[in-house]
A and B are shown apart, each in its own frame.
Chain A
Amino acid sequence: MNTVLEVRNLKKVYGSRGTLYPALDNIDLDIKEGEFVGIMGPSGAGKTTLLNLVATIDRPTSGSIKVDGIELARMNDEQLASFRRNKLGFIFQDFNLLDTLTIQENIILPLALANVKAPEIKRRGYETALLLGIEDVLNKYPYEVSGGQKQRAAAARAIIHKPSLILADEPTGALDSKSSAELLQCLSDLNETYGVNIMLVTHDAFAASYCRRILFIKDGRLFTELVKAGPRKEFFQKILDVLAVMGGDNRDLI
């Protein structure tokens, strides 16, 4: 199977002179075709940092990141922008929808940027909305729809251009539990039915339990790895066990 993401020896140090703070240290990570990988860890563990590095929104201090076999470090800003546009899809905790665009326009934005023909844009926009169950709110503006619908719109925007990798950072962080479950089910279906590759960052064991494999990070280092085998409820229990071993305050994780 192809390797979608290959991270080697990744290191990120924040700060300058004197107050250096290593946020990530010596991270190795592979995501293969068809995977749904979770990154878990307590607040401040370096999850967002990792995601931002893969997202090319931030640059690593050292180490290598390859997406579809392409080394990111060698690209200039222009190339990185086009890389993000073509290869990646994003879902953020605070939705990041443009409030001047309707839901439909938000969803099709990546296709418009890629200069896809208008009729095809419309068709794919509708199909993707259908997939995520938001076809009824397409002509509304973000402020007119619920948080769950916003996040599914963001998910639709993330997958519409068929990127190699979907990056999701705490996508359920601002949702109630019902909307969270719906969104996670959608992501899981996308992964299982259409083979969409997903990297999900979360500190929530429930969200993580939808993944097929979970990497635990603590203080910027890989702590352990857990692979799903069996039903989700069982997996959820295992995750809680790992978290307990990892220590730290459980309240901090929820």
Chain B
Amino acid sequence: MTLFSITARNIKKNFQNYFLYFLSMVFSIVVFYVFTSIQYNEQVAQTVGVLTKYMLKLGAISVAVFSAIFMGYSNSFFIRKRKKEVGLYSLLGLKKRQVARMLFYENLVMGVAALGIGIILGSLFSKLFVMLFFRLMGNFVQVSFAISLPAIYNTCGVFLLIFVIISLYAYSLIYRFKLVDLFRAEQRGEAAPKASIIMALLSIILIITGYILAFRLDENFFLYAPTVLITVILGSYGLFHTSMVFVIRILKKNTSRYYRGMNLVSTTNLFYRIKSNATILATIAILSATAVTAMGMGYGIYQDTLDKINNDNPFSFVYWNNPDRDHKVNQALAKYPQNQLLGSVEISFISAQASIPGFNTRCSLISESNYNELAQLKGWKKVDISGLKDAVWVLPDFKFREDLVDKGVIIELEKEGRHEFHTIDRLPYRLTNNSNTWTTLILSDAAYATLTELEKPDSLKALIVANQKESRELTAEIGKILPEYTWNAYYHEYIYNMEMRGMLMFIGGFLGLVILLATGSIIYFRQLNEAQQEGHNYQILRNIGVSSKEIFASIRKQLLYVFLFPLIVGITHSWVALMALANMIATDLVKSTLITITVYTLIYLIYYLLTVHSYNRIVNSEISWSN
């Protein structure tokens, strides 16, 4: 039997354990490949800006670094788990060098297989991913299928390097083993585990401090941001290392519950599990928080962007009006039936200075009937201004202050004098895309007519066309007709914003998924490893008459806590992070955060079920016991 055939057999035998590890490796490779191949995609190169390319590169590097850490951790774990096996080979006379080489091969074979599969999957789906990328950036682009050779070279290069480093690391681990260590059974059981109340309180105080500072980031970002990270991370590790001891101790105090059925076994097992896994669980909580934050942020900003673009740009086109331009624009519109004109409105307004004590702004004045015409087209709330001296604000949300309503407002025209009005209401819109109309006062028709006699109004034309998100050619054509700075197009704003946000969503989403899969797989094989160690204990329980059903229930319960605890901490962290972020960039992230958390929890749930199933299969397999 050659070393290589032993290797092959080992991989086959351990496949169950390796499966999820392998899966997340493949996924990391696919994501890396996709990030890289998008950078080299020609269509992408023509469309996106430098920043997007830079961010994609950063995303790819993050995936690579994270994969390296994940694989390194997994490997040190696999090797510890296989100490006995390694010891056995050594006893059978295999030299350390040979054993190490065998593990090196194992690693390499799996790595190369993962690389091959990852690149094949990446290539197969790259068209899909590039399309998704464009789609997220608001473009429906037909993408041709192309295998990107530079991306393949890049991916192979980076991951082969990672594999070699990891394999060398594994190699060195073996060399450091002493034969006695390899056979020494891991001792379990612990007398009165220490838990200092001070440490637990300190952890909680650290986390809360971090949370509070997170909401005051705008006060001193460069001091608070690192402080938040450090306090929350330290606090989380502290929490996992100390708090469980308390919880379990309290559980144990309540003997009438603790002494009921399998609780005795479940509680103590859970205690050891959480204790021996505290560091890894805390790490998973923090990684989950990172992943949820990345995904929530990407998704939230993306969602918010669409709403924001739509609110900020209520019309497809807005231009300074004159008959000649109207004529040319209509000609252009006729050429693009897919962007058929859905409606248009002419807006007549007077620019003025408006002031309320403590508030002074440029604004536009518009008549009630003109506004209602526009509101009719947009489906907005109409107004009815009866008083000659009454006025209604049209202001987007973020500018709004309660004290602007029910106030006397002084209007100063360019040429002629001051006029006083009384504000009776406020509508939360941006009147048109044109910045002159971002702050508007609606006056009664009669009042407006009086003012037009004092000052000649300006005129804007606002159009709504069908499929404005796909009005690239039409917009380009209009750009040729109208002089620069005399017009605004929805499409321009849309493309500019969507590229940024789409890219954030794309990268954030995939990074989040990579982390999610990796953490899920780490919990999975940690737990399975413990299942193997604990098989004997469950055998004892079955012997003394605990049924398979009861054991299954106990396992479900224990694992639920193991999965739930980091998930809850992670979600809480990311919730705070996202709310703090929303606070800082004045964006509503609640809905997207909830959706992200739900999705994350669902995927996590799948890992939980998978782990329960495998765990149960290991410890609850048919009875095989003999002396």
Question: Residues of A with Cβ closer than 8 Å to B?
Answer: 48-49, 52, 55, 57-58, 77-78, 81-86, 88, 90, 92-93, 96-101, 105, 108-113, 115-118, 121-122, 140-144, 157, 169-170
Q: Which of A48, A83, A85, A121 contacts B626 (CB 8 A)?
A: A48
Interface residue? B625 (CB, 8 A) = yes
Stretch in B5-13, B199-207, B257-265 touching the partner: B257-265
Interface residue? B2 (CB, 8 A) = no
Query: Does the CB pair A112–B627 fall under 8 Å?
Result: no
Interface residue? B540 (CB, 8 A) = yes
Q: How far is the CA of A93 from the CA of B537 in the complex (A)?
A: 15
Q: Which of B260, B264, B546, B623 contacts A101 (CB 8 A)?
A: B264
Query: Does the CB pair B191–A140 fall under 8 Å?
Result: yes
Query: Does the CB pair B626–A52 fall under 8 Å?
Result: yes
Query: Does the CB pair B545–A84 fall under 8 Å?
Result: yes
Query: Does the CB pair A85–B545 fall under 8 Å?
Result: yes
Residue of A nearest to B551 (CB): A81
Say how far B366's CB is from chain A's closest CB, in angstroms. 77
Q: How far is the CA of A77 from the CA of B620 in the complex (A)?
A: 13
Query: Does the CB pair B543–A90 fall under 8 Å?
Result: yes
Which B residues are in CB contact (< 8 Å) with A108? 259, 264
Which B residues are in CB contact (< 8 Å) with A121? 255, 259
Query: Does the CB pair A77–B548 fall under 8 Å?
Result: yes
With contacts A109-B264, A113-B546 known, what are 14 further pairs, Cβ within 8 A? A55-B543, A57-B543, A58-B623, A83-B545, A92-B543, A98-B540, A99-B188, A109-B265, A112-B259, A112-B263, A113-B262, A140-B191, A143-B187, A157-B544
Q: Which of B187, B262, B547 contacts A82 (CB 8 A)?
A: B547
Interface residue? B90 (CB, 8 A) = no
Query: Does the CB pair A118–B255 fall under 8 Å?
Result: yes
Interface residue? B542 (CB, 8 A) = yes
Query: Does the CB pair A112–B260 fall under 8 Å?
Result: yes
Which A residues are in CB contact (< 8 Å) with B537? 98-100
Q: How far is the CA of A117 from the CA of B257 in the complex (A)?
A: 9
Given contacts A52-B626, A141-B190, contact A88 B255 (CB under 8 A): no
Q: How far is the CA of A141 from the CA of B262 in the complex (A)?
A: 19
Say how far A62's CB is from chain B's closest CB, in angstroms. 19
Which A residues are in CB contact (< 8 Å) with B272? 100
Q: How far is the CA of A116 from the CA of B261 in the complex (A)?
A: 9
* Interface core residue of B189, B269, B625 (most chain A CB under 10 Å): B189
* Interface core residue of A92, A100, A112, A142 (most chain B CB under 10 Å): A100
- Return the CB mask of B265-281 against A: 1 if under 8 Å, else 0: 10011011000000000
Interface residue? B549 (CB, 8 A) = yes
Interface CB pairs A-B, < 8 A, 8: A48-B626, A57-B625, A84-B543, A88-B545, A100-B188, A100-B537, A101-B268, A113-B262
Given contacts A83-B545, A109-B544, A141-B190, contact A100 B261 (CB under 8 A): no
Interface residue? B256 (CB, 8 A) = yes
Say how far B540's CB is from chain A's closest CB, in angstroms. 5
Q: How far is the CA of A84 from the CA of B540 in the complex (A)?
A: 12
Query: Does the CB pair B544–A110 fall under 8 Å?
Result: yes
Which B residues are in CB contact (< 8 Å) with A86? 545
Which A residues are in CB contact (< 8 Å) with B258? 118
Given contacts A52-B626, A100-B268, A101-B268, contact A78 B543 (CB under 8 A): no
Given contacts A48-B627, A115-B261, contact A99 B546 (CB under 8 A): no
Query: Does the CB pair B544–A90 fall under 8 Å?
Result: yes
Q: How far is the CA of A52 from the CA of B265 in the complex (A)?
A: 24
Q: Which 6 A-B pairs have the closest CB atoms?
A: A85-B545, A84-B545, A81-B547, A141-B189, A118-B256, A118-B255
Q: How far is the CA of A83 from the CA of B261 in the complex (A)?
A: 16
Q: How far is the CA of A101 from the CA of B187 in the complex (A)?
A: 13
Say how far B252's CB is from chain A's closest CB, in angstroms. 9
Which B residues are in CB contact (< 8 Å) with A96? 540, 543
- Return the CB mask of B591-627 against A: 1 if under 8 Å, else 0: 0000000000000000000000000000000010111
Q: How far is the CA of A206 from the CA of B539 in the complex (A)?
A: 30
Say how far B608's CB is from chain A's closest CB, in angstroms. 22
Which B residues are in CB contact (< 8 Å) with A143? 187-189
Which A residues are in CB contact (< 8 Å) with B540? 96-98
* Interface core residue of B187, B188, B262 (most chain A CB under 10 Å): B188
Residue of A nearest to B268 (CB): A100
Query: Does the CB pair B264–A81 fall under 8 Å?
Result: no
Query: Does the CB pair B625–A112 fall under 8 Å?
Result: no
Say how far B616's CB is from chain A's closest CB, in angstroms. 15
* Interface core residue of B272, B540, B550 (most chain A CB under 10 Å): B540
* Interface core residue of B260, B541, B549, B627 (most chain A CB under 10 Å): B627
Q: How far is the CA of A98 from the CA of B279 in the complex (A)?
A: 25
Query: Does the CB pair B625–A113 fall under 8 Å?
Result: no
Query: Does the CB pair A84–B549 fall under 8 Å?
Result: no
Which B residues are in CB contact (< 8 Å) with A112? 259-261, 263-264
Q: How far is the CA of A109 from the CA of B262 in the complex (A)?
A: 8
Which A residues are in CB contact (< 8 Å) with B259? 108, 111-112, 116, 118, 121
Say how far A158's CB is from chain B's closest CB, in angstroms. 9
Q: How far is the CA of A122 from the CA of B540 in the complex (A)?
A: 22
Residue of B nearest to A58 (CB): B623
Residue of B nearest to A87 (CB): B545
Say how far A59's CB is from chain B's closest CB, in angstroms. 9
Q: How far is the CA of A96 from the CA of B539 in the complex (A)?
A: 9
Query: Does the CB pair B189–A142 fall under 8 Å?
Result: yes
Query: Does the CB pair B260–A115 fall under 8 Å?
Result: yes
Which B residues are in CB contact (< 8 Å) with A99? 188-189, 537
Q: How far is the CA of A81 from the CA of B552 in the complex (A)?
A: 14
Query: Does the CB pair A170–B545 fall under 8 Å?
Result: no
Say how far B562's CB is from chain A's closest CB, in angstroms. 15
Residues 533-571 (chain B) with a chain A CB within 8 angstroms: 537, 540-550
Q: How far is the CA of A28 from the CA of B626 in the complex (A)?
A: 22
Query: Does the CB pair A98–B265 fall under 8 Å?
Result: yes
Which B residues are in CB contact (< 8 Å) with A92? 543, 627
Given contacts A84-B545, A143-B189, contact A57 B260 (CB under 8 A): no
Which B residues are in CB contact (< 8 Å) with A97? 540
Q: How far is the CA of A143 from the CA of B185 in the complex (A)?
A: 12
Which B residues are in CB contact (< 8 Å) with A111? 259
Q: Which of A84, A88, A141 contacts B191 (CB 8 A)?
A: A141
Q: How far is the CA of A149 from the CA of B543 in the complex (A)?
A: 21
Q: How far is the CA of A109 from the CA of B259 in the complex (A)?
A: 8
Which A residues are in CB contact (< 8 Å) with B546? 81, 85, 113
Which A residues are in CB contact (< 8 Å) with B261? 112-113, 115
Say how far A111's CB is from chain B's closest CB, in angstroms. 8
Query: Does the CB pair A170–B627 fall under 8 Å?
Result: yes
Q: How far is the CA of A83 from the CA of B545 in the complex (A)?
A: 7
* Interface core residue of B190, B263, B543, B625 (most chain A CB under 10 Å): B543
Which B residues are in CB contact (< 8 Å) with A116? 259
Which A residues are in CB contact (< 8 Å) with B268? 98, 100-101, 105
Residue of A nearest to B536 (CB): A96
Given contacts A112-B259, A112-B263, contact A81 B545 (CB under 8 A): yes
Which A residues are in CB contact (< 8 Å) with B265? 98, 100-101, 109
Q: How far is the CA of A141 from the CA of B188 in the complex (A)?
A: 9
Which A residues are in CB contact (< 8 Å) with B190? 141
Q: How far is the CA of A144 from the CA of B188 in the complex (A)?
A: 11
Residue of B nearest to A157 (CB): B544
Query: Does the CB pair A105–B627 fall under 8 Å?
Result: no
Which A residues are in CB contact (< 8 Å) with B547? 77-78, 81-82
Say how far A82's CB is from chain B's closest CB, in angstroms. 7
Which B residues are in CB contact (< 8 Å) with A84? 543-545
Which B residues are in CB contact (< 8 Å) with A55? 543
Query: Does the CB pair A100–B544 fall under 8 Å?
Result: no
Say how far B361's CB is from chain A's closest CB, in angstroms. 70
Which A residues are in CB contact (< 8 Å) with B549? 78
Q: How far is the CA of A124 from the CA of B383 in the complex (A)?
A: 83
Q: How far is the CA of A112 from the CA of B540 in the complex (A)?
A: 15
Residue of B nearest to A167 (CB): B543
Query: Does the CB pair A93–B544 fall under 8 Å?
Result: no
Say how far A117's CB is from chain B's closest CB, in angstroms. 7
